[in-house]
Structure 1
């Protein structure tokens, strides 16, 4: 029995061989007689391997062999191993290892290796394609002719802007780094193919390494062969319940479309809607439709435009979900589904304030750019929110449409806008300290309460103490008075001013009502009118402490102004024009002499975009003061020229007739002409531009310009774009300077010169 146990403790392979042999014997026994069975007196080793019981019943013996334990009887698996005396003599150096005999290469293995290598290092796939050298390292190859890949040019530019190889290009890059970037760029190319609708496209990457002696990787080359394949097209487009919008459906469906070549995405939703209504009926637009190429950009844009169109067409509660695209490779088509819920059409019912004592519902309705009963437009809601924030009286605003009447059939429902506001601190102390070589020391301080007289009634007390100016004054200002961006202001002040052209001690009361233009709401025209009552004691300038006699003037004026504005930007225009006119009928009493005159000027500005990077800007200003001789007009009411916004290259108010002391005396007519080119550069990501300019100007004693003493200045400046307008630095040189004029003038300011 012990020998039987020993046989069954053999390895798993031995048992398998035993079982297999028994099964083979069974199979052989099907065609063999019993006389051919094993002799029972056979060899002992064969007896141990195949006992007589296996001959009698092989199947039972095989099953019993698999089921019995594999350990020998009487051996405790928990017992420790017996001590074994195993010792190996440690060799002493030097060691001598026998080299293996060389092995001849196997021809079959060598052939297989060559075939594998030929699969990895491929020849260019698009052999007859069009190559584009992106940089010294990277080459893209497209199918020749462009018919197979019409988006190739746009695809290439997009790839350049996102490529890891381009972005991280460096002379220090190693082969490993370049190859890792190539892997990322290959993923990028596949993503871009999907974006343009080539879902079966293939990218083949070929890496050509540099010389082995160059670890930096110089000379490495990456080549991508782009095989776009067939472009997929829309097989179906599903837009939720958009069809339930009735008569609005054609326009709304047309809005779910692509950007046309003559369109721009710089327009506001309101401007875009107005442009479309005037220029593009629904049957002239380019909506996405079945059969169009499946492009992800078009889907994203069309979804956004539909969302905007719903919000601008009265659908206050409309929702547009994330689009889903089902790609069917068998049909080479994509089925687009955009979940749209229109939610009914509404008109504005009004505005409801959450803080009536602070900013009332009535005042908020004045600020709004819509009237109750007008069609709901999401852009009007957003504009109202921005206008409330622009008051400076609140830190946060939320506006929620609330249904007050449900739509019935084709008749729109009503929504009331609930405005929730958080008050901001209303009192402000402010101060400023300055010094410059021309005006000396200046200290300015103010206190204001921005809502002392609700709504938006501000009171400001201010004071200035300086070398050449002292002032104390009180200003009352009512913003959004009787309408959006309409301002009523009353200013009472007393001041002492020392200028190169004149010195004045003045007490004044000024009232003004105006319609202003703002960055938030740039208007095609704006205006102002007012009243001024002034008592001023003045003299013309002095040199070396030699002063001209002082004169006292009592002036009353009714200034009026108006501006037409077709420019595209308030602070940095590139196209359009502005035409401004100013008229101020005035009466002045001096030494018991009453004089009546009018101060008049006309200012025109034009902007021409010559290219994406060059804007030509020009300005001309003409002014006249008819009705009274020069000496009857207070020096502070006369015309002067020169300075940052007049004629650059000359000091402030330094151009014009001079008195016997050599100081500017001012005049009754004014001429200014400016021309500059605003040239963009790639510096600072395109934020920096260079501006060469030439200016000319003249001031004359007569009421019409004579140009006898015209002054010309020229120079160059730079502009740095910011979120609040360009920062301006100009350096000008006077061409025909007079005594007392500087050789160079430098100007720093915010916004363009004109």
Structure 2
């Protein structure tokens, strides 16, 4: 037993079992001790690999960057999988062989060229939805505090992510993310009002009032309101000296509010080009906030590059040759050498747009370097023209009780006889009127906004008052408004030659007869218009006077006379949705008896543009057969309440008026009509449908009258 206990094998059995150490942390073999050192020191200080051996193992280096790589050394024969490493006790321990395995044969696919990138499918793979569609939505409510006192509640609600979610979310994390976004929104809104110390917090919690819902809370704290401590403008010299500062409506003490600051800078950009500086540019503002001072203030600085002070030079043009320079120079309302004003440049562009001959047109100031008056620099205006279609088709339709159905169609070539010489062919097809006409029109004839018109027409009218075949030749010079270019003062004057064959009741013979009349007239009109819209006015007034000296041949001889008409309309906006409109009109014919006057030239009352509720031309004297014969005077009054909601409207109305045999209208024997209308508002004007009834109905008058047309009644 004693001998057995001293044997090495017995000693190993008495030691705890230890697995052989492997890997990078395994103990390395002890190096042989150097002379004069103890074994412990040799093991502790000896390098794993001597420097000389490490240096000799390095491959030779070269300074040639393009030199080929050195070949790998031949692989040594593979050692056995394990080899014994002597242990301090003299026993061998098996360790794994860490040498590399031999490189196998090269994969043929690795030698193939790479596939071109263009052949890859770049469409991303469809990913499956992670959200369970059947999972219930989380409901939440929103509570915002601190913004109501600043008047930001409505703006916050319109931009809020929580509000946009409609109180539903996929999970609580999504609610928290929306709340964080709204937290930043609240801070931005408060900053925009000048509260630059503003803070906001957001949190979500279970709603105690409804355990099935979350509550998202946004708490805003505005802090101090910052005001301007100084306003500094950095700009070159101007005329007058304080021009830029004067056009910057900011003063010390104003709150540093984003809308106020931006509006003031926009005013500088708008006004400087109107004061002779077409190339002015507003730079980036700088506001230095003094957040550590007792007063919440900020110093404001604005750089402005005014550019040269300029005056108008000449017109130049590029692009499609719609107009040459001779005709383009008809449009400006300024003269060469006049101080530059961007409003006059815009006016020129609007006038060119109003011709309807351009797909696109622009007017741009161009620097020339030429000296102008008063030390200015002349700038030329470059007009870029893009030709548009010159031909157009148009149509209009209407219906009214007494006048029946009336349809009008026209074909127009607006530049058949350049410049702006238009040819218009029109046709009227109705139940009680038919006709054709041809019109030559020269717009901007020799001067801006003046129009020359020549018309030849043939027409047949069949109404209760008369049946007429009429031919007309007329010329007219006018200064008119258009839907694009509405003018305050308009006029026209011209000449007419009319030949007409009409049925007329001869009171001497007691029967209807046909007579032929030849009429020469010099009609004219002036109008002053302050309304805000040509087809749908909501404020302002209009005054109009017509005068037409005429002479007639037929029905007993040559008779000169004069036809006059005066009319006034007024529009008052009670609110954005309600407009009160009123009209008064009176006409008179002097110098001729009624029976010697062609029936088509007399005055009548009744109809959609007169006293609604009564038939067309059925107000005034009648013949024994009950047909209207017209008169030499007329008066009319109308009152409407135009209420609009969205694109629709309701218009109750009251009309009054009559026509008289006398040459002056009377205030007695007025006929009243009342009704209600509907409106559908379009971008080219309102569509009108009116239903009316006569209030003091006469024998033969209908109970209901219907009117359908485009545009308001007046």
Q: TM-score range by the shorter chain?
A: 0.7 to 0.9
Matched, 1:244 2:215: no
**Superposition pairs for residues 188-587 of structure 1, below 5 Å?**
188-205=185-202, 209-210=206-207, 217=213, 223-234=217-228, 237=231, 239-241=233-235, 243-245=236-238, 247-256=239-248, 287-323=249-285, 325=287, 329-330=291-292, 332-334=296-298, 336-354=300-318, 358-406=322-370, 411-428=375-392, 446-539=410-503, 548-587=512-551
The counterpart of 2:696, out of the listed 736, 747, 751, is 736
What is the root-mean-square deviation of aligned Cα atoms in Å? 4.1
| Change over 3 Å in CA distance of 1:525–1:594 after alignment to 2 | same
Q: Deviations over 1:233-286 (max 9, x none)?
A: 345555442x421x3342332222xxxxxxxxxxxxxxxxxxxxxxxxxxxxxx
2: CA distance, partners of 1:252 / 1:656:
66
1: CA distance, partners of 2:38 / 2:455:
124
1: CA distance, partners of 2:405 / 2:481:
34
Check the 8 A contact 1:599/1:624 in 2, yes or no.
yes
Q: CA deviation at 1:580?
A: 1.0
Question: Secondary structure, in 3 states, of the residue corresponding to 1:368?
Answer: coil
Point out the more displaced range, 421-430 or 578-587. 421-430
Point out the more displaced range, 653-662 or 501-510. 653-662
1: CA distance, partners of 2:253 / 2:47:
70
Check the 8 A contact 1:303/1:323 in 2, yes or no.
no
Q: Deviations over 1:667-715 (max 9, x none)?
A: 221111111222344xx3xx43432221112112212233554222222
| Change over 3 Å in CA distance of 1:409–1:521 after alignment to 2 | closer
| Change over 3 Å in CA distance of 1:214–1:631 after alignment to 2 | farther
Matched, 1:601 2:565: yes
Match of 2:684 in 1: 724
The counterpart of 1:639, out of the listed 592, 603, 611, is 603
The counterpart of 2:145, out of the listed 136, 141, 145, is 141
Q: CA deviation at 1:463?
A: 3.7
Higher helix share: 1
Q: CA deviation at 1:479?
A: 0.6
Question: Secondary structure, in 3 states, of the residue corresponding to 2:375?
Answer: coil
Higher strand share: 2
Check the 8 A contact 1:54/1:61 in 2, yes or no.
no
Question: Secondary structure, in 3 states, of the residue corresponding to 1:244?
Answer: coil
2: CA distance, partners of 1:635 / 1:141:
76
Match of 2:706 in 1: 746
2: CA distance, partners of 1:74 / 1:541:
138
Question: Secondary structure, in 3 states, of the residue corresponding to 1:550?
Answer: strand
2: CA distance, partners of 1:609 / 1:418:
41
Point out the more displaced range, 334-343 or 548-557. 334-343
Check the 8 A contact 1:647/1:695 in 2, yes or no.
yes
Q: Deviations over 1:61-109 (max 9, x none)?
A: 8999xxxxxx9962146999xxxxxxxxxxxxxxxxxxxxxxxxxxxxx
2: CA distance, partners of 1:181 / 1:588:
83
1: CA distance, partners of 2:538 / 2:300:
40
1: CA distance, partners of 2:374 / 2:692:
66
Check the 8 A contact 2:401/2:616 in 1, yes or no.
no
Q: Which runs of 5+ in 1 are unaligned?
A: 16-52, 65-70, 81-135, 257-286
Match of 2:88 in 1: none
Point out the more displaced range, 157-166 or 608-617. 157-166
Check the 8 A contact 1:713/1:733 in 2, yes or no.
yes
Q: Deviations over 1:568-620 (max 9, x none)?
A: 33333333221111111111122332222221111111222333433222111
2: CA distance, partners of 1:738 / 1:384:
56
- TM-score between both structures, scaled by the size of structure 2: 0.74
Match of 1:696 in 2: 656
Q: CA deviation at 1:531?
A: 0.9
**Superposition pairs for residues 75-86 of structure 1, below 5 Å?**
75-76=96-97
Matched, 1:186 2:183: yes
Q: Which runs of 5+ in 2 are unaligned?
A: 1-15, 28-36, 49-84, 86-92, 102-139
1: CA distance, partners of 2:42 / 2:221:
65
2: CA distance, partners of 1:478 / 1:728:
32
1: CA distance, partners of 2:200 / 2:619:
69
**Superposition pairs for residues 35-54 of structure 1, below 5 Å?**
none
Question: Secondary structure, in 3 states, of the residue corresponding to 1:471?
Answer: strand
Question: Secondary structure, in 3 states, of the residue corresponding to 2:308?
Answer: coil
Question: Secondary structure, in 3 states, of the residue corresponding to 1:698?
Answer: strand
Question: Secondary structure, in 3 states, of the residue corresponding to 1:299?
Answer: helix
Check the 8 A contact 1:239/1:337 in 2, yes or no.
yes
Check the 8 A contact 1:696/1:711 in 2, yes or no.
yes
1: CA distance, partners of 2:353 / 2:484:
11
1: CA distance, partners of 2:190 / 2:243:
31
